[in-house]
Structure 1
Amino acid sequence: MAVPVYGALALAVLIVALALASGRFDIDRGLLDDGIASTVFFLMIAYAMRWLGFERLATGVEMMMLSAIIPIAMAFCSLVLASSAWPMRDAELAAIDVGLLGFDRQAVVATARRLPWLMMVSGWVYRSAAMTPYLLLVAMIARRQLRSAWVVMSALTVTAAVAIFIMALVPAFGTPPYAYRFVDIFIAVRSGELRHLDGSAITGLVTFPSVHAADGVILAWGFSRLGTWALPLVAVNILMIESALLSGGHYLIDLIAGVALAITMIKLMSKTVGRLDRAEHHRGQPAPASEGA
C-alpha cells in the first residue's frame, strides 16, 4: 500500500541525486549519511516487526520514519527545481485574484491585522500543520485504520511532489506577511548563490498551489474518519485553508488550486491504495486493513 509514497520519495531523491552528480549542487555529508543510516535502521525494524506479526507497530515505525525523511527530500528537491529560475509569476497570480476573483489579499490582511487575536489564531492554526499529520497517523494506526492511514500518507506525499513540480514552472513569492523566512533562500537558489544543501536551506518554497491548503483538506478528511472526538481537529484543518491566506503569504488562487489538488489526490490515492491492499490480500499476505478507505 505504500507504493505511491515510496514512488514520490524516490522521484525526489533521484532529482537531488542527479543535481549532486552533475556538480550543480553539493550536500552536507553528515546530514546525508545520518539520513541514509536512520532510514535503513528504521526500515529494518519495521520489516522485522511485520515479519513477527506486529503489523500496526511496523506501520507506525515505517510512517514515522517516512514523515521525518520525506520533508527533507522534498525540500532539497524543491531547491534543485527552483534553480531553473523560470520567470516569477506573481503578477499573473495577483491579476487572477483581482481580475477574475475580485479579491484583494492585501486589503483583507490589513483588515484582519486590526484584530490581533485573529492573526494570532491564524498563525497558530497555520503552524499546527507541523504536528497534526503525526497525530492523525498515530490515531488511525491505533484504531486499525491502516488503509486510510496509507491513503493520507500517500495523498500528502504525492501532493507535495506535484506542488513542487508546479512551483518550478509557476514560481512566486506571494505577498507578506509570510509564515516562513524563505524569500532570501528563494532568491539565492535562483541566482546560483545557494548551491549547498543542508539543514539551513530547508524551507517551503511553494506558493502556487498552496500546500497548506491542500494539507488542510487531506487532514480534515482523515480526521473526519475517526469519529466525533476528532471533529475539533477537522475544524482546525479546515481553518488551515483560511490561515494560508492570512498568515502564509498566499494568493486566493493558490488556495483554490491547493484544494482542487487535494480533492483529486484523496480520490486517486483512495483508489490506488485500495487496489494495492486487495492485491496484497489476494496474494495470501495478511491484509493489514479491515476497514475501507
Structure 2
Amino acid sequence: MDAVRHASPGDVPRARVRLWLLILAVAGLTAAWMRAAGLALEAASALLPAAACLGLELVATVYTVRRPDPRLAVSLSCVAQILGFSACAALLSYAVAATGGPLRDDAFLALDRALGLDWTAYLAALNDRPGLGAALTLAYRTLMPQMILVVVVLGFGGRLAAAREFVLAFVIAGVVTVVLSGLLPAVGTYAHLGLRPEDFSRLSPAAPYAHLADLTGLRDGTLRSITLDRMEGIITFPSFHTALGVLFIRYFWMSRITRWPGIALNGMMIAATPIDGGHYFVDVGAGAVIAVLAIGAAGFLVRAAGPAEGRRARPAWASPGGAGVAARGS
C-alpha cells in the first residue's frame, strides 16, 4: 500500500497549529476588548471570512494528510491564517479606538516639524506632479494582493519555514500596531490640518477621509454595531502600511524573481503612505521600526521552535525513494 495514504492528522505540522493558536488568542483578546468597549459584531458578516478560512484549511489538510504536497498545503494554510488574523485585527482596532485616550495629532505634527519634515510641502510637491501621485496611489492600493502573493512566492518556492515566519511577523506587527494606536490615537493629517479636496485638486489619495466617520463614532459612542462587510483602516500611528511594506521587502527578497520588483513597489507604497493614508512622517518611521522588530522576533521564534517543515521542500518525486512512492500510488 502507498505510505502516503496512511498519513494521519497527527502529521499536520506543529508550526501551523501554533500559528492558529496564536490567532485564536488574538480573537479572544478582541472579543474581550469589544465587550469592554460596548461593541457588538454583526455575526452574519463573519460567516464569509470564517467559511473562507475553514475551506482553505480543509484543502490544506487534504494536501497534508491524504495527498502530501507541502508547498500547496503551507501556501493555502498561510493564506487562511492571514485572512483570519486580518479580520481579528480589524475588529481589535475598532475596540481599541473606542477606548482610546486623547488625540495626539499636535504632538505628531510638532515632532515632524522638529525633524525638519514638512507634510504640507510634500503634499504640494505631489499635487504639482499628478502623474507621480497617481503612481504612488496605485502602489498604495497593492497591499492585499501583495499579502497573498508573498505567501505564494515563498510557499511554491519551497521556503516553507519562511512562509510561516512571514505570517508570524505579520501577526506580531499587527498586534503591536493596533495596541499602540489606542495608546496614541490621532485623526490624521487631512482632518487635523482642516484640508479640503480643493487643496490637493490634482491628486486622488486613496483614503484621506474614509476613516473619519467610524473613528468619530467609536470615540463619541454613536457607533456600537460593527460589521466586517464595511470596515475602514482607522489607525494613524503607527503606519501599518509601512510595517507591511518593510515585511514585503524582506520576504520578497528571498526570491530572485521578486527581489527587485518588491523593493521598487514597496518603496513606492511607503512613499505613498503619508499622502494616501493621511499619515504623519513619524507614523511611517514607527511602522518601519515595528516591522524590523517583528521580523527579528518571528525569526527567533521560528528558529527556537525547530524546523517544522524544513527550510525548503522538494516534490515527492525528487526525494530519495520518491519515484517508487509515486509509482505505487498511481
Q: Give, in angstroms, the shift of residue 24 of structure 1.
A: 1.4
Partners of 2:120 and 2:310 in 1: CA distance: 48
Match of 1:24 in 2: 38
**Higher radius of gyration, 1 or 2:** 2
Shift in Å, 1:245: 1.8
The answer to whether the Cα contact below 8 Å between 1:72 and 1:202 also exists between their aligned partners in 2 is no
Aligned match for 2:96, one of 76, 81, 103: 81
Equivalent position to 1:133, from 129, 135, 147: 147
Query: Which residue of structure 1 aligns with residue 10 of structure 2?
Result: none
Counterpart of 1:144 in structure 2: which amino acid? Answer: G
Residue in 2 aligned with 1:289? 311
Higher mean C-alpha displacement, 132-141 vs 194-203 = 194-203
Contact 1:209 1:255 in 2 (8 A): yes
Residues 247, 172 of structure 1: CA spacing in aligned structure 2 closer, same or farther, 3 A cutoff?
same
The TM-score, its normalising length taken from structure 2, stands at 0.79
- 2:206 alignment partner AA: A
Q: Which residue of 1 aligns with 2:323?
A: none
- Establish whether residue 256 from structure 1 lines up as the match of residue 270 from structure 2: no
The alignment status of 1:15 with 2:11, answered yes or no, reads no
2:85 to 53, 60, 70: 70
The 8 Å contact of residues 49 and 57 in structure 1, kept in 2 or not, is answered as yes
Partner of 2:189: 175
- Counterpart residue number, 1:97: 112
Map of 1:56 onto structure 2: 71
Match of 1:185 in 2: 214
Distance in 1 separating the partners of 2:37 and 2:266: 41
Q: In structure 2, what is the Cα distance between the partners aligned to 1:250 and 1:276?
A: 37
CA positional deviation for 1:11: 3.5
Do the aligned residues in 2 keep the contact of 1:147 with 1:277 (CA within 8 Å)?
A: no
Counterpart CA distance in 2 for 1:146 and 1:37 is: 24
User: Partner of 1:249: helix, strand, or coil?
Assistant: coil
Q: Which residue of 1 aligns with 2:166?
A: 152
CA contact 2:274–2:284 (8 Å) conserved in 1: yes
CA contact (8 A) 1:82 1:171 kept: yes
CA distance in 2, matches of 1:147, 1:185: 38
Higher mean C-alpha deviation, range 26-35 or range 3-12: 3-12
Q: TM-score, normalised by structure 1?
A: 0.89
Q: CA deviation at 1:26?
A: 1.7
* Count of equivalent residues: 283
Which residue of 2 is the match for residue 115 of structure 1? 129
Work out whether 1:237 is the aligned partner of 2:262: no
Q: How big is the shift at 1:165? A: 0.1
- How far apart are the structure 2 equivalents of 1:138 and 1:248? 27
Q: Which amino acid aligns with 1:179?
A: A
Rounded Cα–Cα distance in structure 2 between residues aligned with 1:275 and 1:242: 35
Please, what is the CA RMSD of the aligned residues? Answer: 2.2
Q: Secondary structure at the match of 1:163?
A: helix
Gaps of 5+ in 1: 281-286
